[in-house]
Amino acid sequence: MSDINVHPATPAQLPNILRSAYARRASLMLWGPPGIGKSTIVKQFAEANKMVFIDVRLTTLEPSDLRGLPHFDEKNRRTIWYMPEFIPLEDVPTIIFLDELTAADQRLQASAYELVLDRRIGGKPIPSQAWVVAAGNGASDGAISYSMGTALADRFQHVSLQADVKSWLEWARNMGLHTSVLAFLKVKSEFLECNKLAIEQNEMVVPTPRSWERVSDVLQFHEKSQKDGAPADRTTLEFDVSGYLGKKVAIEFFGVLEEIENLPDIEKLLKADAKDQCKMVPDSITAMYGLAYSVAAYINRKEDIRAAISLFENLTSVTKTAVPRQEIQTLAMELIFEKAHKLKALFELIKDPAYLKYKKKMDRFMQV
């Protein structure tokens, strides 16, 4: 199958699609490039809904493994089949996840027909609350992929996933990914997922949503090591990051990282007066975005919220700059609102003079 001719969906839209399909027990086939988060989202959906998640890697199986083992019924002098181990014994909400379906050869794919369409194995029905979801890559994604025949394709509801920076950044914030990763992708969103670039330039290592998550882990690991007393090891950090992003993107990332590392201490910045705050923050779009994410991550008390609002109001008042400070202030306010909600401080926020000043300015802006 060369063209997945359905409406593309973002990872943020997938949970609702999963919910609808499970209610109908409609078998799903998720298409998308490597690293976009297909298996992660399905597993998180299972956890959120208290479902059993059974991960079946078809590339490790033989066609007979999908049907189970034959057993001789001496009483009736017939051959019967034992269910394979991945079929749940109890009738509880369960996802049977057939990962890497398109990487399995067509003999294995054909063996999945009965399970996908008829919800049966060897003629026996699977539990009523079990549900089949499959995932794989298309030939254009650069991964190992066998063509899916129309007979199997017709048995699925198909979903084509595409990377979406806005929804991914929201997910990444909620998951606590490193602020430097967030700031970089806010400015250079084209680097979120580069599988097509890998194919065009014959490169093996390029960024994907999965690799950015791992880069965040690398940054947090190195920061923790330094806090624990280990010396800074920039060379190893560069090797670690390059191993997930590739050399070209890693160079771009470290250029942005250096700007963000030059930001002042957040606690000192929030306590400084307005004039000093404007002098302390570099006049750079990447540094400003980095500041927005860093301040939001720093806020852990209700008292910090007003100081953060005032900071971005002061920075927005700076003139003669090419940096879109109003846009960055809007992002900062969204992040501050999220933190205020987590701290149960929304009521105090909407009465705060600093917020009322910002709201009045935005109301004037919307009327223009």
Mean pLDDT of 213-238: 93
User: Which tens digits make up the pLDDT trace of 336-348?
Assistant: 988 888 888 888 7
3-state SS class at 221: helix
In angstroms, the Cα distances linking 192 to 63, 136, 182, 211 are: 37, 20, 10, 9
Q: What is the spatial distance between Cα 43 and Cα 30, in angstroms, rounded to a whole number?
A: 13
Among 217-221, 343-347, 356-360, whose mean pLDDT is lowest? 356-360
What are the backbone angles phi and psi of residue 185, rounded to the nearest 5°?
A: -75, -20
Q: What is the spatial distance between Cα 269 and Cα 292, in angstroms, rounded to a whole number?
A: 12
CA 84 to chain centre: 32
pTM: 0.74
The answer to whether the beta carbons of residues 112 and 66 sit under 8 Å apart is yes
User: Which tens digits make up the pLDDT trace of 86-119?
Assistant: 888 899 999 999 988 877 777 777 777 778 888 8
Q: Which residues are CB-contacts of 249 (< 8 A; sequence separation ≥ 6)? A: 191, 194, 206, 207
Task: Report which of residues 212 and 351 the model is more confident about.
Answer: 212
Q: What is the spatial distance between Cα 88 and Cα 132, in angstroms, rounded to a whole number?
A: 12
Show me where the domains of the chain are located. Answer: 8-162, 166-367
Spell out the CATH class of 8-162: alpha beta
User: Which tens digits make up the pLDDT trace of 304-320?
Assistant: 888 898 898 888 877 65
User: Which tens digits make up the pLDDT trace of 318-328?
Assistant: 765 666 778 88
